[in-house]
Structure 1
Amino acid sequence: MGRMSSSTSPTETPDTPAGPARITWHHAPEARLVLALGHGAGGGIEARDLAALAAALPPLGVTVARVEQPWRVAGRKVAPAPKTLDTAWRALWPALARRGLPVVAGGRSAGARVACRTGADLGAHAVLALSFPLHPPGRPERSRDGELLSTGLPTLVVQGGADPFGRPEEFPGGDFELLEVAYADHGFAVPKRAPLSQEDALVTLTEGVATWLGRLGNAR
């Protein structure tokens, strides 16, 4: 199953066919849900949106698990193929679900795609897609909307208003909710000239996710 540390934010290293993954836990005192968050292809769990959710949600009864894919744990700089990402996520899922709590599958960018593709088969409670990469920048004809529209689960997309991988108005209609973070880019950074601060943008994100999670309840 892997090892568990005893630090303030304990970590666990479950084995997967792609190598060891790493889960950093942010425990809620009286947890009602677990939110699992995978990272993108260009960065790790230190991303501002993942860090903000890990700080904001545990006091609200949501344990957050920030998940590092094996390629990041191994120190590689390039993400593997989607199939390999999905295989690793499936293999570490039992470590996320063993507490017996509903688990929301989530992630940013490539991690959001993994959550969308695998959530239903793994028995996830819902899907949280942060900065879903609807298409490559400048290539709207290469849409990935099929992944988003086929989750089969309650789904929330949180998207920056200026995300080059898909602005909110580019998303198709479908059985999902969409929360816009105005002026934000793919990493939820906002320009200095924007009429809201970086802190304001992250508050919009965390409060929106918290409200959505609250509406989900505990029913599977």
Structure 2
Amino acid sequence: MSGKSVRIKLDEHKSLSGLLLMPKGAIACYVLAHGAGAGMGHPFLEAVADGLAARQIATLRYQFPSMEGGSKRPDKPEVAHKAVRAAVQAAAALAPSVPLFAGGKSFGGRMTSQAQAETPLPNVAGLILIGFPLHPQGKPALDRAEHLEQVNISMLFLQGSRDALASLPLITKVTNNLGKLAKLKIVEHADHSFHVPVKSGTTDSQVMSEILDLMARFVSAQSP
């Protein structure tokens, strides 16, 4: 597991585990939340953190309270939002001289965007949402995207073309309706976990490089 262990104060009685990876000459810091079923040490998130560090982008990963307590049942939104805010505040203190970005994988990205829609996250220049879970599998709907209309900063959506939790027509409709604030990048052949079948002629490592490059370009475009 890469990164320096840190503690993130949630309230007067609780704190959360975090991992800070700060490359020399960092140009930004991405506050990266995990998905519903796996914590901050998941290999996918570790690969994102390592890949962004190679592109001079720091990351702060952190545990949601339920995962911190050993449960894989996702937190209620109000609890998750509080964790998002605590992590952003911690990132501002740990990386005070660089622009902040926030988001995460699946559930983590959705909770971050909800928190931003409710009350803007201080000093966050943009959201990077990796595999935004637009709807449950087999139940296409737009309900989970309604809050995005209240987000007032730039958003990058990274979606696999085979993502069962975000049908292409619907996620395209969502991002088109958000106008200039939203950028949608489709990764061909990738599923919700950004795995690709062997017959696609593309490898998972190539997919990871693609999404890392897309994130780095987005950060560079939004940074002062």
Q: What is the TM-score normalised by the length of structure 1?
A: 0.88
CA distance in 2, matches of 1:149, 1:187: 26
Secondary structure at the counterpart of residue 21 of structure 1: strand
Secondary structure at the counterpart of residue 14 of structure 1: strand
Return the offset for 1:216: 1.3
Give the conservation status (yes or no) of the 8 Å contact 1:93–1:122: yes
CA distance in 2, matches of 1:97, 1:150: 23
Return the offset for 1:142: 5.0
Question: 1:170 matched to which residue of 2?
Answer: 170
CA distance in 2, matches of 1:188, 1:102: 27
Question: 1:118 matched to which residue of 2?
Answer: 115
Answer with 137-146 or 203-212: which moved more: 137-146
Question: 2:46 matched to which residue of 1?
Answer: 51
**Map 1:127-142 → 2, pairs under 5 A:** 127-142=127-142
Return the offset for 1:8: 6.4
- Counting aligned pairs with the same residue, the percent is 24
CA distance in 1, matches of 2:120, 2:84: 12
Corresponding residue to 1:197 among 181, 203, 211: 203
CA distance in 2, matches of 1:148, 1:74: 29
Offset from partner CA, 1:49-70 (integer Å, 9 cap, x none): 4222211122322111112112
Question: 1:23 matched to which residue of 2?
Answer: 18
Gap runs ≥5 in structure 2? none
Answer with 79-88 or 15-24: which moved more: 15-24
Secondary structure at the counterpart of residue 111 of structure 2: helix
Give the conservation status (yes or no) of the 8 Å contact 1:116–1:150: no
Answer with 138-147 or 26-35: which moved more: 138-147
CA distance in 1, matches of 2:188, 2:28: 28
Considering fraction of residues, name the structure with more helix: 2
Question: 1:33 matched to which residue of 2?
Answer: 28
Q: Which amino acid aligns with 1:159?
A: Q
Answer with 62-71 or 91-100: which moved more: 91-100
Return the offset for 1:169: 3.1
Superposition CA RMSD, Å = 2.0
CA distance in 1, matches of 2:195, 2:2: 28
Answer with 153-162 or 200-209: which moved more: 200-209
In structure 2, do the counterparts of structure 1 residues 132 and 8 end up closer, same or farther at CA, with 3 Å as the change threshold?
closer
Return the offset for 1:200: 1.4
Return the offset for 1:140: 1.4
